[in-house]
Amino acid sequence: MPTAEDAELPLTAWTVLGVLSFPGERSGYDIKSWADRSLRFFYWSPALSQVYRELRRLEELGFATSTLAPQDELRNKRLYRITDAGRAALTRWAGRTPDSPPVMKHGVMLRVWLGHLLGPDELRAVLTDHIEWALGMARDAAALEASAHRQLLWPYPELALRWSWRFYESEAELARQLLSDVDELEAARGHSPGGSET
Chain positions contacting a second copy, by CB under 8 A:
11, 14-15, 18, 21-22, 39, 42-44, 87, 90-91, 94-95, 97-118, 122, 125-126, 129-130, 133, 137, 154-157, 159-160, 162-164, 166-167, 170-171, 174, 177-178, 181-182, 185
Q: CB-wise, 78 or 111, nearer to a second copy?
A: 111
Q: How far is the CB of 14 from a second copy (least distance, A)?
A: 7
Type and span of the H or E element at 77: strand 76-82
Q: How far is the CB of 67 from a second copy (least distance, A)?
A: 24
118-147 per-residue burial string, b: 16 or more CB within 10 A, e: under 16: eebeebbebbeebbeebbebbebbbebbee
How does DSSP assign 21-38, residue by residue? TSSS-B-HHHHHHHHHHT
Residues 6 or more apart whose Cβ sits within 8 Å of residue 178: 112, 127
**Which CB atom, from 73 or from 84, has the smaller least distance to a second copy?**
84
Q: Rounded to the nearest whole angstrom, what is the least distance from the CB of residue 29 to a second copy in the complex?
A: 20
Q: How far is the CB of 56 from a second copy (least distance, A)?
A: 21
